[in-house]
């Protein structure tokens, strides 16, 4: 089959959607399917030149927060016939509305990964933004979802939560799961790459956070819980790795100084390649006390590296983690995060080794991208033979 992956940007600093999309296409390619990417990036952007997963059509630069690009719809209309399916990654950007407009009346279906962007947490956390979204929900995102051949959710929790944000909601839902491919490099080499960059961490017990430095991720909870639990454990260090797009890191560093643990927190910045995998492999545990996490690609990457995970119950795959005993789960509060760290430190070494093995087993059972690719192609093949409802046929032209 021939796939087109549509995404706002291929910049890895934007978080999980592009990482997941690239891993998905690599798995599809192994299974004999071809793929291309279309983004709204400026063709001159550095991330465009560095992208090597598949052919990329950079159709920007996009304008404004909605990411409007006048080149997108004409390009997709001219090229739609080359693809069996168009996969839209994310909501609240022009890529969804433009895809619906471009493919109306054609034989090329489109599918949407919301990537957690319908989670009602956003409605509670940002009520004013939610009101603004309502202004264009009925004529934009509602219709994008309604007319998609399938709306693809990564787990049952995401599917159920998506129904709670807007009362006007219609979608042909399917659960695809999501995941990544296990790293194929030499574990010793990747560890050396990490410790070469951060030599002071050799011989230390490390707790790893890897993701965007953002309030949604519960970074402040982690720093404060680390200070409470590990103040008298000098061998334990916290590694905070990820881009600081909202310029929150200085505030967190000030908090760490006030709490007396600044010298045991390593602000590693964004890690890629061998250094990233080395961070997972050298860590005792991975921690994500997030307030909202649709999937958490870094959580799955940690498990692929046999690194147990400490997560909040707002990470939507927490049930799979808890059931497999691949990590520990608690509430997305300071008390919950403290509980995670206390239970981690109190666990005997043999039991923690069993949890390492369980983490990899959980990954193999649920989150291997090759299985995700097979599920997706099966959904696409089945849905192409299922006729659209009268409402969808009418909506495709409204």
CATH of the domain at 108: 3.40.50.2000
Give the CA dihedral 41, 97, 298, 126, nearest 10 degrees.
110
Based on the fold, state whether residues 127 and 220 are members of the same structural domain: no
pTM, to two decimals: 0.79
Nearest to 210 by CA among 181, 238, 188, 250: 238
Q: What is the pLDDT of residue 389?
A: 45
Based on the fold, state whether residues 241 and 353 are members of the same structural domain: yes
Q: What is the pLDDT of residue 223?
A: 98
Q: What is the pLDDT of residue 20?
A: 86
Based on the fold, state whether residues 210 and 112 are members of the same structural domain: no
Residue 84: strand, helix, or coil: coil
Based on the fold, state whether residues 134 and 44 are members of the same structural domain: yes
> Is the CB of residue 340 less than 8 Å from the CB of residue 359?
no
How many Cβ atoms from other residues are within 10 Å of residue 86's Cβ?
25
Based on the fold, state whether residues 312 and 176 are members of the same structural domain: no
Based on the fold, state whether residues 217 and 234 are members of the same structural domain: yes
Q: What is the pLDDT of residue 19?
A: 85
Report the alpha-carbon distance of residue 270 to residue 212 in Å, rounded.
8
Q: What is the pLDDT of residue 240?
A: 98
Show pLDDT as tens, one digit a residue, over the chain (398 residues).
999 999 999 998 766 689 889 999 999 999 999 999 999 999 999 999 999 999 999 999 999 888 999 999 999 999 999 999 999 999 999 999 999 999 999 999 999 999 888 888 788 888 888 888 888 799 899 999 999 999 999 888 889 889 998 989 999 999 988 888 888 889 999 999 999 999 999 999 999 999 999 999 999 999 999 999 998 999 999 999 999 989 999 999 999 999 999 999 999 999 999 999 999 999 999 999 999 988 788 999 999 999 999 999 999 999 999 999 999 999 999 999 999 999 999 999 999 999 999 999 999 988 999 999 999 999 999 987 765 543 444 444 34
H or E, element range at 26: helix 16-30
Based on the fold, state whether residues 26 and 106 are members of the same structural domain: yes
Based on the fold, state whether residues 127 and 276 are members of the same structural domain: no
Based on the fold, state whether residues 245 and 319 are members of the same structural domain: yes
Q: What is the pLDDT of residue 390?
A: 38
What's the token pair of residue 198?
A: 């951060």
Q: What is the pLDDT of residue 180?
A: 83
Q: Is 262 exposed, middle or buried (0-12, 13-18, 19+ CB in 10 A)?
A: middle
Report the alpha-carbon distance of residue 267 to residue 223 in Å, rounded.
12
How many Cβ atoms from other residues are within 10 Å of residue 375's Cβ?
16
Report the alpha-carbon distance of residue 231 to residue 322 in Å, rounded.
28
Domain that holds residue 353: 187-366
> Is the CB of residue 90 less than 8 Å from the CB of residue 113?
yes
- The domain total for the chain is 2
Based on the fold, state whether residues 161 and 231 are members of the same structural domain: no
How crowded is the C-beta side of 216, counted as CA atoms within 13 Å? 20
Q: What is the pLDDT of residue 387?
A: 54
Residue 291: strand, helix, or coil: coil
Residue 329: strand, helix, or coil: strand
Q: What is the pLDDT of residue 392?
A: 42
Based on the fold, state whether residues 199 and 171 are members of the same structural domain: no
Report the alpha-carbon distance of residue 25 to residue 373 in Å, rounded.
8
> Residue 138 gets which letter from DSSP?
T
H or E, element range at 363: helix 349-366
> Is the CB of residue 259 less than 8 Å from the CB of residue 183?
no
Sheet holding 85-89, edge to edge: 56-58, 34-39, 2-7, 85-89, 110-113, 150-153, 173-175
Based on the fold, state whether residues 309 and 383 are members of the same structural domain: no
């Amino acid at each position: 089959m021939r796939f087109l992956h549509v995404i706002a940007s291929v910049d890895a600093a934007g978080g999980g959607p592009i990482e997941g999309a690239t891993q998905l296409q690599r798995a599809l390619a192994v299974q004999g399917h071809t793929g291309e990417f279309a983004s709204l990036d400026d063709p001159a952007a550095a991330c465009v030149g560095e992208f090597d997963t598949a052919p990329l059509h950079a159709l920007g630069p996009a304008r404004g927060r909605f990411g409007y690009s006048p080149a997108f719809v004409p390009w997709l209309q001219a090229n739609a016939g080359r693809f069996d399916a168009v996969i839209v990654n994310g909501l609240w950007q022009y890529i969804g509305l433009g895809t619906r407009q471009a493919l109306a009346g054609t034989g090329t279906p489109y599918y949407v990964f919301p990537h957690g962007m319908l989670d009602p947490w956003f409605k509670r956390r940002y009520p004013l933004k939610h009101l603004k979204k309502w202004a264009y929900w009925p004529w934009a995102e509602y219709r994008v979802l309604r007319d998609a051949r399938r709306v693809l959710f990564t787990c049952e929790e995401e599917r159920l939560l998506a129904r709670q944000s807007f009362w006007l909601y219609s979608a042909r839902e399917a659960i695809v799961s999501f995941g990544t491919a296990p790293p194929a490099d030499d574990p010793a080499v990747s560890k050396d790459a990490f410790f070469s960059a951060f030599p002071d961490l050799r011989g230390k017990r490390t707790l790893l956070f890897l993701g965007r430095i953002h309030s949604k991720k519960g970074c402040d909870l982690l720093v404060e819980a680390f200070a409470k639990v590990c103040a008298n454990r000098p061998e334990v260090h916290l590694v905070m790795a990820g881009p600081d797009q909202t310029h929150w890191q200085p505030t967190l560093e000030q908090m760490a100084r006030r709490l007396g643990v600044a010298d045991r927190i390593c602000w590693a910045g964004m890690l890629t390649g061998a250094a990233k995998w080395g961070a997972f492999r050298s860590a005792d545990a991975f921690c994500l006390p997030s307030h909202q996490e649709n999937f958490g690609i870094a959580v799955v990457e940690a498990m692929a590296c046999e690194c147990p995970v400490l997560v909040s119950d707002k990470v939507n795959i927490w049930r799979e983690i808890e059931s497999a005993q691949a990590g520990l789960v608690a509430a997305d509060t300071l008390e919950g995060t403290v509980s995670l760290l206390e239970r981690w430190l109190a666990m005997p070494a043999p039991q923690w080794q069993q949890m390492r093995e369980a983490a990899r087993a959980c990954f193999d059972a649920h989150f291997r991208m090759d299985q995700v690719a097979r599920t997706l192609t099966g959904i696409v093949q089945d849905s192409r033979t299922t006729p659209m409802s009268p409402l969808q046929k009418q909506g495709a032209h409204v």
